[in-house]
Structure 1
């Protein structure tokens, strides 16, 4: 079973951008951001004194279906990567799965949090609900943290701040595009899922996550959303983030139906090492905005 890109006993990152001037003993002045899902593990390191990102790596994890298996793979990565064994001043984890529910503050009751989450999703008996408070939209985002994953990461890192990746996405988009006028559609594309966020200035009008297998699946869900919200594909612009190339089938199909397409830029609140020039600016948008949402 293929899981990680591994040569002998050496685990290889699919993407690796590490500033050559990075010093391990300076980790105590750095924040570690981690993003994890069932098919990948990514991390970025932010020098807090300089507000500068100095490292980013991504590991593809294939052919696993459980968080127990995922935790084993993360153990392998951390145990082999000296950089991840340092004492960072703070650590955050963005968990990426589609089992989450947004609830306005006025309708949310903490004692009924699991029932709220279970209303839209099938939960296992031992899964407990946790939540993010999203100040910008005055709403709670309910989700669960798999026990196996929580134990695994707590073993390696101290005082983790958890966030659901949809919370990070919503907060980041509102922060970055709050001065934009009119309705705008934002899609964040992952390997097997994508998120649609619709903003009007700083107001959230719509958010949903979809699983997809083909480019046709993605465009179907997107155009269905346009239709339901009475948006005109010729007039309402779309902004893309995530690991998508312009020569991909997804992008080509998007451009066939929606001509006003742009990509997100990196957050100007931070500086970026020259090694980040090797990665397009719209890649790893949620990972590189994670610190903004936990600080």
Structure 2
């Protein structure tokens, strides 16, 4: 996948030969990050809120929670990747995408401000372009603290990973996946290995969540009694949401990478979506 900005080596004047890479997921309700070397993940941490946060509140958390926690790794960090999880995106076929018209694709989905900067990810396996708006103030925070870095949108990662799932399920008519955050969720649906829909929906209650999912199934003529609904985000089988969804969907699955839910609040398992 080609992303909004390429990797650039970060400024580093230390003599150490240890090279770390840092990946961080920025969502509207917090963040999750990890540091790794060539042998794997060395350190991971997260900070989530029960409500959506303003950009100023996210920046405050990054200053107070994120920077102090990576101080021991900071001088040896050579690469930084930031993944945004927000509702500011749309997907178009790459043959129809032109950079000069990028903002026009988004104007049908969201209100675009004069200060917004528009970027795109290229999803080569499906010949799609995902157009999105990152958080400019947060980008500036990372530039000030780390120099140049790579960033993309979580929906691009979700589409690529769910496409792999769809290819394995090619024998069934549809593959449906859900990735949920505090007050919104991503829904991806494939027919065979072709993407039919990737969208994001707001919700306050579990009933909102159910309504949007059933509405999409109805619009695409998909039977919830025949097609499994697969969660790529943590969902405990004792939760009210799981029990409600299970009443209407024949099979509610939880992706194998995220079956460990001993801590019901944790979202560290999102790591498989932005690594």
Instruction: Give the TM-score band, short-chain normalised.
Output: 0.7 to 0.9
Q: 1:38 to 1:96 in 2, by over 3 A?
A: same
SS at match of 2:212: helix
Any stretches of 5+ residues in structure 2 without a counterpart?
A: 1-14
Match among 30, 43, 62 for residue 55 of structure 1: 43
Q: C-alpha distance in 2, partners of 1:28/1:217?
A: 48
Bigger Cα displacement from structure 2, 114-123 vs 171-180: 171-180
Q: C-alpha distance in 1, partners of 2:127/2:218?
A: 27
Give yes or no for the alignment of 1:33 onto 2:17: no
Q: TM-score, normalised by structure 1?
A: 0.78
Counterpart of 1:238 in structure 2 is 229
Tell me by how many angstroms 1:245 deviates.
1.7
Counterpart of 1:290 in structure 2 is 274
Q: C-alpha distance in 2, partners of 1:264/1:210?
A: 20
Aligned residues: 256
Counterpart of 2:58 in structure 1 is 70
Counterpart of 2:121 in structure 1 is 132
Q: C-alpha distance in 2, partners of 1:134/1:100?
A: 14
Counterpart of 1:14 in structure 2 is none
Tell me by how many angstroms 1:65 deviates.
4.5
1:246-270, Cα deviation, whole Å (9 max, x unpaired): 2211111001111312111239xxx
Tell me by how many angstroms 1:80 deviates.
2.0
Q: 1:31 to 1:202 in 2, by over 3 A?
A: farther
Check conservation: 1:94, 1:287, Cα contact below 8 A: no
Q: C-alpha distance in 2, partners of 1:218/1:277?
A: 21
Tell me by how many angstroms 1:63 deviates.
6.1
Counterpart of 2:158 in structure 1 is 169
Q: 1:263 to 1:135 in 2, by over 3 A?
A: same
Q: 1:118 to 1:228 in 2, by over 3 A?
A: same
Give the aligned CA root-mean-square deviation in angstroms. Answer: 2.6
Q: 1:133 to 1:157 in 2, by over 3 A?
A: same
Give yes or no for the alignment of 1:197 onto 2:188: yes
Counterpart of 1:110 in structure 2 is 99
Q: C-alpha distance in 2, partners of 1:29/1:277?
A: 32
Counterpart of 1:259 in structure 2 is 250
SS at match of 2:76: coil
Q: C-alpha distance in 2, partners of 1:102/1:254?
A: 27
Q: TM-score, normalised by structure 2?
A: 0.84
Check conservation: 1:169, 1:286, Cα contact below 8 A: no
Any stretches of 5+ residues in structure 1 without a counterpart?
A: 1-24, 268-275
Check conservation: 1:85, 1:156, Cα contact below 8 A: no
Bigger Cα displacement from structure 2, 166-175 vs 208-217: 166-175
Q: C-alpha distance in 2, partners of 1:278/1:221?
A: 28
Match among 163, 168, 174 for residue 179 of structure 1: 168
